[in-house]
């Protein structure tokens, strides 16, 4: 009986659950700019840190607002 109840709840969960409206995230890494006409492939003297913040809000099923800020 417990197993059947567990399976029914697992199958019904997507239909009765409510998802979150706000999504917040971050990113980090390194940044480098070479340009179009360069001799070297990668120039590590101009490489620097990069951080970013991401925010997303689901307004309804069809509309989502997104924003991002990156500092390199």
What sign for the dihedral angle of Cα 27, 30, 34, 40? negative
pLDDT of 29-46, one tens digit each? 998 877 777 777 777 787
pLDDT digits (tens, 9 = 90+) for 5-18: 878 777 776 666 66
pTM: 0.55
Q: What is the pLDDT of residue 19?
A: 65
Instruction: Work out the number of other CB atoms within 10 angstroms of the CB of residue 23.
Output: 13
Question: Which residue is it, tokens 């409206």?
Answer: 21
């Amino acid at each position: 009986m417990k197993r059947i109840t567990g399976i029914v709840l697992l199958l019904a969960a997507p239909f009765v659950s409510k998802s979150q409206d706000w999504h917040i995230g971050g990113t980090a890494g390194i940044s480098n700019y070479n340009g179009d006409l360069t001799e070297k492939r990668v120039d590590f003297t101009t490489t620097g840190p990069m951080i970013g913040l991401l925010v997303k809000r689901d307004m309804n099923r069809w509309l989502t607002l997104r924003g991002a800020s990156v500092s390199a």
